[in-house]
Amino acid sequence: MTMMLPPLRFVGATILRDGEMQKRSLVIEDGRITKGPLPEVDLAGYLILPGIIDLHGDAFERHIAPRPSAPFPILSGLRSTDREAASHGVTTAWLAQCWSWEGGMRGPDYAEQVMAALDGYRPRALTDLRLQIRCETHMPETRARLIAAVLRHGIDYVIFNNHLPETLAMTETAPARIAQFAERQGLALEVYTAALQAARDRARDVPRHLCAMAEAFDAMDVRYGSHDDPDAETREYYRILGARIAEFPTTAGAAKVARACGDPVLMGAPNVVRGRSQAGNVSALTLVANGLCDALVSDYHYPCLAQAAWVLVDRGLCTLPEAWAMISTNPAEIMGLGDRGTLARGMRADLVVVNETTREVEATVSGGRLTYLAGEAGSRLVGAMQTVRLAAE
């Protein structure tokens, strides 16, 4: 584990605090935001913002298997994912791991390997890394196994997926893509197709299966939601089950139902940065403009989290405090993390130092530990820490 920063007082920067950009100092000590006349670091020309909290990221798949035929050890992938996230201001991150009938890197066997690897790596992690399980709905035969794994590994977030209808349709309209899916999971086409058909044949058991899982998750205080809701009816269906988080609704209608019911809506930051969905679904910009989006997640690209906040500011859709809340304060509230997401006194020292001119992240502090350092801010921090060390000697 990286060492805690010494007690420091950041001065000269503009701080996001109490929903406003303020010219004031920020003190950190023993991993918390505190107060006191401590040694100063001059960060004039910089913004200090709450650490980014990412509720869904699957970019780690590319670190583990940069090519489908070239997998690397899971631990190696977690380590590089950790460092990439930190370099883009992320201080807490949920890695989205599939639990799917597809098998391969998306199957239960592999998911449990990832859970175990993360358990082992977490004490050395820079970022507070957690796991979100993306559970395909048509797998009732694995319910007991999944619940046991969630309990054993302390999983606190599960999302229900149902990609079966579109995959079945592609067997007729795009068979070449089905062959690609099979190859990506390292399966023969006939094996993949058989798993697809078996999942379809379990449809009758799915409603009872989802109710049982929801009951178990409620008992374990696991937050759960649904992914890619295509319409209002689907969102209402999952909400009745207790799946209150609407992740990536594909239409405005689904998002409107979530908003009417007080359920948080999560959209992809890459959707905002690119100005459109890569899958042709509803634009996240449209949802934000209409007050139908609560939080942004990295999805498949960590750099887009901070970039998306600036896109919203530049388009006049949000102030910087409002935009940054979508990647910090709001995710913390959605997941019930009362110790982070703001720079209030007593909170965990999770913060990002951003160059006010270039808008680049130059330092990330997670739990009081320095997890990323670059640029002029890096020089100033290093100089201040050397002064503290010499004074101590």
Residue 278 CA to residue 62 CA, distance in Å, equals 18
Residues 46 and 356: beta-carbon distance below 8 Å: yes
1-18 pLDDT, tens digit each: 567 899 999 999 999 999
The pLDDT assigned to 123 comes to 94
Residue 131 CA to residue 266 CA, distance in Å, equals 17
What mean pLDDT do residues 11-37 have?
95
> Does the pLDDT at position 304 exceed 80?
yes
The pLDDT assigned to 21 comes to 98
DSSP string, 54-103: EEEE-THHHHH-SBTTB---HHHHHHHHHHHHHHTTEEEEEEEEEE-TT-
The pLDDT assigned to 174 comes to 87
DSSP string, 19-33: TEEEE--EEEETTEE
What mean pLDDT do residues 102-120 have?
95
> How much of the chain, in percent, has pLDDT values that exceed 70?
97
Residue 186 gets which letter from DSSP?
T
The pLDDT assigned to 220 comes to 97
CATH 2.30.40.10 location in the chain:
8-49+343-392
What mean pLDDT do residues 36-54 have?
94
What mean pLDDT do residues 42-66 have?
95
Which of 78-92, 280-294, 370-384 holds the top average pLDDT? 78-92
65-98 pLDDT, tens digit each: 888 778 899 999 999 999 999 999 999 999 999 9
333 φ/ψ sector (left φ>0, alpha ψ -120 to 50, else beta): alpha
Tokens 């935001």 -> residue: 33
Distances (CA, A) of 135 to 33, 116, 341: 37, 18, 27
Q: How many Å separate Cα 352 from the centre of its chain?
A: 16
Residues 131 and 95: beta-carbon distance below 8 Å: yes
Q: What pairing do the DSSP bridges indicate for beta strands 46-50 and 351-355?
A: antiparallel
The angle formed by the CA atoms of residues 280, 281 and 282, to the nearest 5 degrees, is: 130
Evaluate if pTM is beyond 0.85: yes
Residue 302 CA to residue 269 CA, distance in Å, equals 9
Residue 137 CA to residue 209 CA, distance in Å, equals 8
How high does pLDDT run on average in the chain? 94
> How much of the chain, in percent, has pLDDT values that exceed 90?
80
Name the 3-class secondary structure at 301: coil
Half-sphere exposure of 332 (CA within 13 A, CB side): 23
Q: What are the residues whose beta carbons fall under 8 Å from the beta carbon of 280, sequence distance 6 or more?
A: none
Confidence band of 182 (pLDDT split at 50, 70, 90): confident
The pLDDT assigned to 164 comes to 87
Confidence band of 316 (pLDDT split at 50, 70, 90): very high
257-273 pLDDT, tens digit each: 999 999 999 999 999 99
What mean pLDDT do residues 333-337 have?
98
Residue 341 CA to residue 337 CA, distance in Å, equals 8
8-49+343-392 fold: Urease, subunit C; domain 1 (2.30.40)
Confidence band of 392 (pLDDT split at 50, 70, 90): low
